[in-house]
Structure 1
Amino acid sequence: MADFKAIVNDVKTGKSYNVAVSGHHANSLDGKNIGEIVDGIFVGLPGYKLKITGGSDKTGTPMRADLPGKKRVKLLLSDGLGFHERYPGERKRVAARGSTISSETVQINMAVTEYGPKPIEELLAGDGEEKKE
């Protein structure tokens, strides 16, 4: 069973929220690709639509949207995600992970595309904050 850490970015306010995803919700995200729109119920945001924008595995290797599959491969890069050149023309072999979420993925980055009826702060607030009266 896979467990993920989802980083949900609220594009209106610019805030990001760290949400733990486990159980059948995590299994539902397995096999999804970068760029897909998923239901917010997987991360505790019913009524919301989220776009998968990236992620990384347990070693911190970033996912690339232009690399199909789940594998971790070494690419010869001159610029882009995972490498930035120090001088013009520099190239380097860098590890990158494919665009498909797998059991080896630890972190998933998401952005809100459609908002639900309740605010995000209210849905993702801990139980201790809501019951203080």
Structure 2
Amino acid sequence: MVEFKTIVNDVKTGKSYNVKVSGHHANSLNGKNIGEIVDGIFVGLPGYKLKITGGSDKNGTPMRSDLPGPKRKKLLLSDGLGFKERYPGERKRVGVRGSTISSEIVQINMAIAEYGPKAIEELLPPAPAEGAKAEKH
């Protein structure tokens, strides 16, 4: 059974929401590509439309929208997603994953494209802030 960690970004407020998707909702996301608009019912947001913006596999290999298919490939990159140059003109062969969601994908990033009737705070709890530390007692 496929299970995804889905990060839903609210573009109005800048908040992100972490949602686990499993079962038949996760199976219906298989085969979708980066840039596609999907129904929000898959992540518990009825009435919302979500745009798939990216993702990564279990090793943290990012998905690229310009690479078709679900396979992992090594590309010679000079800049862009999956590579940050250290000096001008640097190129490096970097492993990236294609733009199609498959069973090897663990995390899917989505942005809200169309808002529904209910507020998103009512339907989903906000994700903990990145780098947030537990308070010491």
TM-score (norm 2): 0.90
Distance in 2 between residues matched to 1:72 and 1:124, nearest whole Å: 32
Q: Is 1:105 matched with 2:90?
A: no
- Residue identity matched to 1:102: S
Partner residue, 2:123: 123
Structure 2: stretches of 5+ with no match in the other structure: 126-137
Spell out, residue by residue over 1:12-56, the C-alpha distance to the aligned partner (whole angstroms, 9 max, x if none): 110000000000000000000000000000000000000000000
Q: How does 1:9-28 map to 2 (within 5 A)?
A: 9-28=9-28
Partner SS for 2:12: coil
Q: How does 1:1-133 map to 2 (within 5 A)?
A: 1-125=1-125
Partner SS for 2:113: strand
- Residue identity matched to 1:23: G
Partner residue, 1:130: none
Distance in 2 between residues matched to 1:80 and 1:124, nearest whole Å: 32
Q: How far does residue 84 in structure 1 lie from its aligned partner after superposition? A: 1.1
TM-score (norm 1): 0.93
Distance in 1 between residues matched to 2:49 and 2:66, nearest whole Å: 23
Structure 1: stretches of 5+ with no match in the other structure: 126-133
Q: Percent identity?
A: 86
Q: How far does residue 3 in structure 1 lie from its aligned partner after superposition? A: 0.3
- Residue identity matched to 1:52: I
Q: Which runs of 4+ in 1 moved over 3 A?
A: none
Distance in 1 between residues matched to 2:11 and 2:87, nearest whole Å: 34
Distance in 1 between residues matched to 2:69 and 2:85, nearest whole Å: 26
